[in-house]
Amino acid sequence: MLDDIYDIKPPVALETWTGWWWIGAAGLLALLLGLALWQSRRTAPRRRARRALLRAMARLKAASPGLDDRTFAYHLADLLRQALSLRTNLVTASQTTEELLPRLAATDLPQALCETLAVTLRRCDQARYAPPACLPDGLVQEGPVGPSWPPEASPPPPRPHPRQRQRQRDLSPLRQLLGRNRPWPF
């Protein structure tokens, strides 16, 4: 019975359409671009904060010849704490140096960097909390008020500071925290 059924027309072969490959490739490309955009938006606040810290470090470096030790130490310690907070996600602004150092040792920072940071933060504390220096006219010189210093467009004072090399060495832990060769993704 099945032998007597004949096709009216022979079977038609379907053409192979290569457009499916192009649609798949375009979809994959759109997925990869979407992931790149999502990653860049996810890390944008941290990258902006890092760039702001780098600009503040450059302003401090430029203004350091005209600063006294107390003012320089105040701003260096503030920048170090902000960089530590950015890099390690620790809340560093409300902690003293002695409270911060044990928590710093528990982070993933290299041991040598932790020791350098500890020495630098302790030196900054010594300069910040030392008795204020008296000026020749008998007035007491006070430190800066608020974290908005150094100003954006202040030219560096013309007189050189005698301890310029030491201050450049004090900025090295900050450079290491914010430097290019770092294991963090922003």
Cβ contacts of residue 128 below 8 Å, gap of 6+?
70, 73, 74, 77, 143
Q: For residue 74, is it within any domain?
A: yes
Q: How confident is the model at residue 180 (pLDDT cuts 50, 70, 90)?
A: low
Residue 118 · residue 70 · CB < 8 Å: no
User: Cβ contacts of residue 51 below 8 Å, gap of 6+?
Assistant: none
pLDDT in the model for residue 43: 78
Give a yes or no: residue 5 inside a domain.
no
Q: Band of the pLDDT at 147, cuts 50, 70, 90?
A: very low
The predicted pLDDT at position 111 comes to: 87
In a domain, 186, yes or no: no
How many other C-beta atoms are found inside a 10 Å radius of the C-beta of residue 77?
21
Whether this prediction's pTM lies above 0.75 is answered by no
Report yes or no on 8 lying in a domain: no
- Residues 23-50, mean pLDDT to the nearest whole number: 89
**How far apart are alpha carbons 143 and 4 in whole angstroms?**
107
The answer on pLDDT for 146 being more than 80 is no
> What is the share, in percent, of the chain residues with pLDDT greater than 90?
8
**Contact yes or no for 141/68 (Cβ under 8 A):** yes
**Which residue matches tokens 């020495």?**
119
Q: Which domain holds residue 176?
A: 45-134+159-180
161 — pLDDT class (breaks 50, 70, 90) = very low
Summarised one tens digit per residue, pLDDT across range 112-125 is 888 888 888 888 88
The answer to whether residue 62 is domain-embedded is yes
Which residue(s) pair with 134 in the sheet?
140
50-72 pLDDT, tens digit per residue, is 888 888 888 888 888 888 888 88
Question: 79 in a domain, yes or no?
Answer: yes
Domain-embedded: residue 66: yes
Is 114 within the bounds of a domain? Answer: yes
The number of distinct structural domains making up the chain is 1
> Cα Rg for the chain, rounded, in angstroms?
30
Enter the tokens of residue 45. 């606040």
Q: Are 88 and 107 in contact (CB under 8 A)?
A: yes
Rounded to the nearest integer, the mean pLDDT of the chain is 76
